[in-house]
Amino acid sequence: MPIIYHIIFKLKFFYICYMTIAENRFFNRMGQVICRTVPAMILLWFLPFVSLAQNEDTLITTDHLSIIFAGDIMGHDGQINGAWDPVKKKYDYEPTFRYIRDYLSSADVAVANLEVTLGGTPYKGYPAFSSPDELALELRDAGFDVLITANNHALDRGEKGFLRTLDVLDTLPVLRAGTYRDQAERNRLHPLVFEKNNLRLALLNYTYGTNGLTIPEPGQINRIDTTMIRIELQKALEADPDYVIVCIHWGLEYQREENAEQRRLAEFMFCHGADAIIGSHPHVVQPIRFYGSDRKDSLIQPVVFSLGNFVSNQREQYKDGGVVAELHLSKRTTLCSTEKGGEAVASVKLDSLSYLPYWVWREENQQLGRQVFYVVPVSRYEEFAGEINLKASDSDKLTRFARDTRSHLEGIPESDFYRLKARELKLKVEPIIAPVEGELPNEDDEQILDREILERGFTIIQ
């Protein structure tokens, strides 16, 4: 209302000036000029207030969300043996993620493919993986928020190992998708729908198979079935998400190019509601492509056909590293005033997609008497000279992996996280701070998990 009064006052003021000048013979000549300009002046004064009035009736907000996806977390014998600390008498995976935890923690949501079971002792690598529980604990501490479990090694330790894996994960403040105790749990938790930074995500997870193994009822594992995928994509859309992501275990192992079946499935999932597809299983990096447009940089519907290994003991060329896919989303919401019905209109955009290449360093630690595994981001090694002391042969392998990967993903931007960090710190390395161990408050298990998940800013939609 004050704006309306102000406009009326201005109009009255210009009207009085107009009449006074027009009727005064002494200023008659000047008045003719001014009489022609006053209407334009009134219009110029009036329009800003109209615009302001419209702005006051409309609230526009923009929310941002960063999501990163890591590839296959393996647990070969060498990794298990290397994680054993004979002094502490326990398994310690902190070194594995030491050089990448700052990057993982910087994302709003971090997702990884857990391609081992937590089936208990005896701990073993290929072909029937069962890793110590400390691996899952360190994944949480390193910054991962969601672990996907539908892959070909989910049943390596049978029904007992399958269920124990779920039991362990459910003691942690992480979300999971892909495997379930029974159909009722699957119906409740898949698709996984959650909110962060005012954006609602729907995540689905499927695998091509489980190495010929089956699980007795009532256990459930999401397998690639186009009929089921179509139904569950529709179910995801009914939850009114801002973005729908499918994480899928597919393709042929060790092939650096996607095959026709992967392309067919990608087109099918995009056609039925997926916004992005993230692939795993080949254990090497495959291309990143965009669907929905002929322009490669259109960022319409991205598919990362394979991220490669996140950590493993596979040392051959192309298998000794991988990439993290980094997506940045923005949500622009326009909210009209209650006088106009309070209608909110939102639009979500994929602002950017980039990748972070890393190499897995297997250090022959003579002092500890064991091999120690580290995930080393290539750009961190390049930007912070002298921080990570690789011997010449290892440095050559990292450089070769970086060259191969950058050539393979030519045209896709690389994450500038460590380059910006190096610039900000003026080439001074941020010290690595070990996680502080401490007891949790006196709460029951469910209260602890709810609190810790909420502390990470997540709201689970069931």
DSSP annotation string for 320-366: SEEEEEEEEEEEEEEEE-GGGT--EEEEEEEEEEEEEEEEEEEEEET
Q: Of 235, 248, 243, nearest to 277 (Cα)?
A: 248
Tens digit of each residue's pLDDT (9 = 90 or more) over 253-302 = 999 999 999 999 999 999 999 999 999 999 999 999 999 754 444 458 99
- Give the angle subtended at the CA of 151 by the CAs of 133 and 281, to the nearest 5°: 110
- Mean pLDDT value of segment 335-343: 65
Interatomic CA distance for residues 241 and 202, integer angstroms: 6
Of 103, 153, 44, 160, residue with least CA distance to 323: 103
Q: Are 299 and 307 in contact (CB under 8 A)?
A: no
What's the pLDDT at 366?
75
The mean pLDDT of 309-329, rounded to a whole number, is 98
| DSSP run (H or E) holding 184 | helix 183-189
> Domain coordinates of the chain in residue numbers?
2-56, 61-425
Quick: pLDDT tens for 164-181: 999 999 999 999 999 999
- The pLDDT score that the predictor gives to residue 309 is 98
* 34-80 pLDDT per residue, tens: 444 444 444 444 444 433 344 555 778 999 999 999 999 999 999 99
CA atoms within 13 A on the CB side of 361: 27
Helix (H) or strand (E) holding 459: strand 459-461
pLDDT of the residue at 44:
43
**Would you say domain 61-425 falls under CATH 3.60.21?**
yes
Least trusted range by pLDDT, from 62-66, 156-160, 229-233, 289-293: 289-293
pLDDT for 341 beyond 80: no
Q: Closest by alpha carbon to 446, among 141, 133, 169, 171?
A: 171
Distance from the Cα of residue 85 to its chain's centroid = 32
Question: What pLDDT was estimated at residue 116?
Answer: 98
Residue 124 DSSP one-character state = B
The torsion region of residue 308 among left (phi > 0), alpha (psi -120 to 50) and beta comes to left
pLDDT band for position 27 (cuts 50, 70, 90)? very low
What is the Cα–Cα distance from 449 to 456, expressed in whole angstroms? 11
- Burial grade of 215 (CB within 10 A; 0-12, 13-18, 19 or more): middle
On whether the CB atoms of residues 162 and 179 are closer than 8 A, the answer is yes
5-9, 119-123, 322-326: which range is least confident on average? Answer: 5-9
pLDDT, greater one: 183 or 41: 183
Reference 135, options 127, 125, 126; nearest CA is 125
pLDDT of residue 369: 78
pLDDT at 24: 45
pLDDT value, residue 433: 47
pLDDT, mean over the chain: 86
DSSP E strand boundaries for 141-272: 146-148, 175-177, 179-180, 192-196, 199-207, 220-221, 243-249
Bridge partners of residue 309, in order along the sequence? 72
Does residue 371 carry a pLDDT above 90?
yes
Residue 340 · residue 57 · CB < 8 Å: yes
CA atoms within 13 A on the CB side of 244: 22
Q: Both tokens of residue 141?
A: 């501490």
Q: How far is CA 263 from CA 269, 277, 288, 303, 308, in A?
A: 10, 11, 12, 9, 18
Q: CA 451 to CA 455: how far, in whole Å?
A: 6
Q: CA–CA separation, 287 vs 262, rounded Å?
A: 12
Higher confidence at residue 367 or residue 364? 364
Residue 241 pLDDT greater than 60, yes or no: yes
Q: Which helix (H) or strand (E) holds 72?
A: strand 58-73
- The whole-number pLDDT of residue 47 equals 42
Region of 158 please: left (phi>0), alpha (psi -120 to 50) or beta: left
* Model confidence pTM above 0.85: no
> Has residue 409 got a pLDDT over 50?
yes
Q: Which residue has the higher pLDDT, 190 or 450?
A: 190
Give strand pairing partners of 329: 65, 350
- Per-residue pLDDT for 187 more than 50? yes
Side chain identity at residue 53, one-letter code: A
Two structure tokens written together for 238? 């009914």
Residue of 262, 264, 157 whose CA lies nearest to 219: 157
Q: Cα angle at 394 between 392 and 397, to 5 degrees? A: 110
Among 41-55, 111-125, 232-246, the least confident range: 41-55
Residue predicted with more confidence, 65 or 428: 65
d(CA 286, CA 443): 45
pLDDT computed for residue 36 by the predictor: 47
Q: What is the pLDDT of residue 169?
A: 98
Using alpha carbons, select from 112, 121, 190, 189 the residue that is nearest to residue 161: 121
- 119-128, 385-394, 421-430 — which is least confidently predicted? 421-430
